[in-house]
Amino acid sequence: MKEIGSIRAEEMVLNIGPQHPSTHGVLRLKVKTDGEIVSEVIPIIGYLHRCFEKHAENITYEQVIPFTDRCDYIASMNNNFGFVVAMEELMDIKVPERVEYIRVIMAELNRIASHLLALGVYGLDIGAFTPFLHMFRDRERILDIFELTCGARLLYNYMWVGGVSHDLPRNFETICIDFLDYFEPNIPEFNQLLTTNKIFIERTADVGVMPAEVAISYGVSGPNLRGSGVKWDVRKDEPYSVYDKFDFEIPVGTGDHGTLGDCWDRYWVRMLEMQESCNIIRQALKAIPDNGDVHAMVPKKIRPPKGSIYRRTESPRGDLGYYIISDGSPTPFRLKMRSPALTSLSVLDEISAGWMISDVIAILGSLDIVLGEIDR
């Protein structure tokens, strides 16, 4: 019991999840409330723990790549990308330029697909059903492109150390351009359905405000950090692959409909990022070399020299890092993955206190977490 003025209120503990559609994975939130007002949110994780990092010590480097697919299964291409970039730096492998462009195209297509899922489901969390259908319709077209390229729609195992599993199929450029020509005019449609929707703005603007200093202190990255007005993106600030050859903007939150760093800003940054990914893909399709064997630099046996490497890349959820220690054998001595979704989930309690229970769902959805990556 606690006393509020002359009113004595009993604190209640409410469990949201682990089987709940709005928790975006198998997650349990232990919510302490005073009536409808939340005083504390404690995330309970581990339901999807699959021992990825320990498994990696008992398998070869080639066998690690399918495991990275299954960490962030919404953006498997980007997880593949981060691991192979770290391995190539550790082994001092220079991949063909054509491979670099293919990887960027695939990573940005996967970024769009990931954001379409995040934004569509976010609308669903708040009660907007129609945008979910429109965004999934367009996401399906990206998955069709992935299936055409490597035969898979979810878990790709596409990016290999030194190359990629398959070269681009015939007429890929035409198919990709056709998709972009179809998709880009749809973004204003999404804005009409959701972005400028009065109810959506009232549910997200001024809610779950994450000040820049709080985001930085928790190690938050990606769209969640940029939604707080911090212009930082690994692709620009620590360029890898061929990202330094492209001209693109880094969207940040501006507080247009509320307070800088609120749920609406985090949503809006992802919406703008889809357009920037389209711009990168168009530039890459124009500049990609016609020739080059995508398997030319794939080693027959992966046995990196003794040493360690930490490399980070920009996944749809933020700063994705891999720390690899090699003892010179074909299997990693240690492998550690830095999950951007974990730092985003860590800040949930900080930005949820004082809001209503229904707002906690809106705040959680705005963080775009994937539990497979958090639990690993």
pLDDT, tens digit (0-9, with 9 covering 90-100), for 33-90: 888 888 888 988 888 888 888 999 999 999 999 999 888 888 899 999 999 999 999 9
Using alpha carbons, select from 359, 133, 191, 136 the residue that is nearest to residue 263: 359
Whether 172 has a pLDDT exceeding 70, the answer reads: yes
Q: What's residue 220's pLDDT?
A: 92
Query: Cα–Cα distance between 25 and 14 in angstroms, integer?
Result: 18
pLDDT per residue as tens digits for the range 309-348: 999 999 999 999 999 999 989 999 999 999 999 999 999 9
pLDDT of residue 234: 92
- Site of tokens 């890349």: 313
pLDDT of residue 5: 53
Instruction: State yes or no: pLDDT of 167 exceeds 60.
Output: yes
- Domains along the chain with CATH numbers: 2-375 (1.10.645.10)
Closest CA to 68 of 4, 130, 156, 180: 156
* Residue that is written with structure tokens 């005019």 in the block: 185
Total count of residues recorded for the chain:
376
Compute the distance between CA of residue 250 and CA of residue 30 in angstroms, rounded to an integer.
Answer: 35
Segment (H or E) for 366: helix 357-367
Report residue 105's pLDDT band, with 50, 70 and 90 as the boundaries.
very high
Given this model, what pLDDT does residue 135 score?
A: 92
